[in-house]
Amino acid sequence: MEQMLSRYQPLALSLFRFITGLMLFQYGVAKILKIPAESPFAKVELTSLYGVAGGIELVLGALLLLGLFTRPVAFILSGEMAFAYFISHAPRGFFPVVNNGSLAIELCFACLFLATAGGGPISLDSILRKKG
């Protein structure tokens, strides 16, 4: 079973990168572009800390979706998610299930993994590396 599944690991890495980027990108879209309007993030002021985070998530989330500059982008996003957890969630309680910080932790470590593993074969990084 391990041998059969391991051949799909590079494709799974690309899919993992894409979905992680999509998760971050959607928060950027909600905070900056106010879509969907019923999102609690649609009320974020662009000049606030949440607004700056939304800009980072929008731009770097899009780069992660495309797999462009994956390692540095993922490293920055990992730091942003750690910052988000300690600034916004940790003060509300010790346990992530109570302070609603589980997603921030998960995205932090997903991005940290991508910073070390790269974007996979289906990425602009991979295409540009082959051309060079």
Domain definitions of the chain by residue range:
9-117
pLDDT band at 98, cuts 50/70/90? very high
Q: Does 132 have pLDDT greater than 80?
A: no
Q: Does 131 have pLDDT greater than 90?
A: no
Is residue 127 within 8 Å of 119, Cβ to Cβ? no
Residue that has been written with the tokens 């980027």 in this structure: 21
* pLDDT at residue number 85: 97
* pLDDT at residue number 126: 95
Q: How many CB atoms lie within 10 A of CB 59?
A: 14
* pTM for this prediction: 0.93
